[in-house]
Amino acid sequence: MKEIRMPNEEYAYFYSGYENPVAEVDVKEEVAVYTLDAFNGLVKTPKDTVSTLACQLFNPLTGPIVIKGAEKGDTLKVTIKSIENTSGVAVGACMNTIGGINATTVTRMINDPITEKVWIYDYKDGEFTSRENPKLKFREQPFSGSLGTAPENEVISSTVPSTFGGNMDVKDMCPGNTLYFPVNVDGAYFYIGDAHGRQGDGELNGTGLEMAAKFILEFDLIKGKKIEWPRIENDEYIMTVGSARPLEDAARIAWCELVEWIVEEYGWDKLDAYELLSKCGEMYLGNMVDPNYSMVAMVKKEYL
């Protein structure tokens, strides 16, 4: 199996169609992709609070990976076969710059900042246990917090979620689901990173169980089919992800994308689809900490 690593440990911090590919892969070819944790592997003890770290960029990505045959206007299908913790540890933290229920650089307040804190977790037998407080103990439910394709023109930080995917921090970007992303440039230029051993809805303090990982991935293409925002599918559900602020705009995007999916592929009337979601749609919070917030809209296939 092809192994994809960043040469000289020089990671990417942007979704960009202008960088040199680190690998080219065929559709339906399984590849192993190695990623670093969101803090560049620098948080090793509880003293390594985020503001003390000697780095300015976070969420290192592995990529761009060129998907052979991908052309602008196609849809990229990504299957995550597995996610494996590669370092035996994971990290959680609270910070002053981001966070769902603390003052941040965007939701600015004159209140005193909160105290920064770090938790180091040992990983063993599928379970993460905090060294500082063993009640913080979680079974793994891994996914990628930041993954997607290059935008058409811009060069966007790996911390931003948007139309092309990016830092959505959505737990359904996980093994077992089929993930869809728009192809905005020939080759797709796929990036992945920010593995989370597990995360609560919202990524409330700005961190999941941040870890280095090995992903087994497989790609496929839906030629000539254009989507506007990331989508997710499994046997039970179809799901859409919207990313914006305020949270209701993220929700509106996800719901409207889901209405369109139902109208276009299942042949429903638009208002009937609206009624359907009002009765059995589901929506959970992806993240409320990143530059855009993410909401996930979903509906069971049995209703369609």
For residues 29 to 68, the per-residue mask of contacts with a copy of itself, x marking binding by CB under 8 A and - elsewhere, is ---------------------------xx-----------
At residue 303, the 3 state secondary structure works out as helix
Contact range with a copy of itself by CB under 8 A, out of 39-47, 74-82, 134-142, 211-219: 134-142
Residue pair 151/64 in contact by the 8 Å Cβ criterion: no
Q: Exposure string (b/e) for 134-158, b if CB count within 10 Å is 16 or more?
A: eeeebebbbbbbbbbbbbeeeebbb
Q: Supply 72's token pair.
A: 């602008």
Of 182 and 208, which has the nearer Cβ to a copy of itself? 208
Q: Which of 36, 166, 285, 294 binds a copy of itself (CB under 8 A)?
A: 285
Q: What is the 3-state secondary structure (H, E, C) of 197-225?
A: CCCCCECCCCCCCECCEEEEEEEEEECCC
Of 214 and 252, which has the nearer Cβ to a copy of itself? 252
Count of chain residues binding a copy of itself (CB under 8 A):
81
Distance CA 258, CA 57 (A): 34
Q: Which of 168, 253, 261, 290 binds a copy of itself (CB under 8 A)?
A: 253
Of 26 and 272, which has the nearer Cβ to a copy of itself? 272
Of 34 and 274, which has the nearer Cβ to a copy of itself? 274
295 binds a copy of itself (CB under 8 A): yes
Q: Which of 12, 94, 212, 239 binds a copy of itself (CB under 8 A)?
A: 94
Of 31 and 297, which has the nearer Cβ to a copy of itself? 297
Residues 208-237 interacting with a copy of itself (rule: CB under 8 A): 208-209
Nearest to 229 by CA among 160, 299, 164, 159: 164
Q: Which of 41, 46, 69, 100 binds a copy of itself (CB under 8 A)?
A: 100
Quickly tell me which residue has 């993460």 as its tokens: 128
Distance CA 260, CA 273 (A): 9
Q: Which amino acid is at 87?
A: S
CB of 239 to a copy of itself, least distance (A): 12
Distance CA 104, CA 119 (A): 20
Contact range with a copy of itself by CB under 8 A, out of 35-43, 74-82, 151-159, 218-226: 151-159
